[in-house]
Amino acid sequence: MENLIAILLAGGAGERLYPLTKDTAKPAV
């Protein structure tokens, strides 16, 4: 569950911190 929450948070932050999360959010999915 912790991983799932982390992915959801990363996905939400990805909209604001796109340059930072672009590379980390995709592999997480």
Euclidean distance between CA atoms 29 and 19, whole angstroms:
17
pLDDT the model gives residue 22: 60
Mean pLDDT score, 7-23: 62
Residues 6+ apart with CB under 8 A from 22: 14
Mean pLDDT score, 11-18: 60
| Cβ contact 11:27 at 8 Å | no
Provide the residue ranges of all domains of the chain, joining segments of one domain with +. 1-29
pLDDT the model gives residue 2: 78
Report the percentage of the chain scoring pLDDT > 90: 0
Mean of per-residue pLDDT scores for the chain: 63
